[in-house]
Amino acid sequence: DGGITQSPKYLFRKEGQNVTLSCEQNLNHDAMYWYRQDPGQGLRLIYYSQIVNDFQKGDIAEGYSVSREKKESFPLTVTSAQKNPTAFYLCASSVSQGAGTEAFFGQGTRLTVV
């Protein structure tokens, strides 16, 4: 089946630790995105990538880092610099960044700081 796979589904982080969220897609999509979802705030863009080895900051990139070494993979690292990392993280991909193309989403990773 084609789709986007995020892992793990639940992740617990101690304060001061870096953690990496995985996102893999087999849809052959060029563009990939990371969003953060908090209650009552909708989705906010963290980072996006249009092609391999290229990525751009979104609206709330501080405290996060990404890489795009392969077309299929777009991992997100939540660093210790992110002061409020507890949230639901969603990865998405689309055929291109054309304005009329819809994004497809993974099932999400819920990160909790303990």
Which range of residues in 14-22, 33-41, 60-68, 71-79 is near other proteins by CB under 8 A?
Answer: 33-41
Minimum distance, C-beta of residue 16 to other proteins, in the bound complex (Å): 27
* Binds other proteins (CB under 8 A): choice among 11, 27, 45, 61: 45
With residue 62 as reference, give the H or E element that holds it: none
Q: Please list, residue by residue across 59-85, b when 16 or more beta carbons sit within 10 angstroms of its beta carbon and e when fewer do.
A: eebeebbbebeebbebbbebeeebeeb
Which string of x and - marks every residue 47-86 that binds other proteins (by CB under 8 A)? Answer: -x-x-----x-x----------------------------
11 binds other proteins (CB under 8 A): no
Q: What is the DSSP pairing of strand 19-25 with strand 4-7?
A: antiparallel
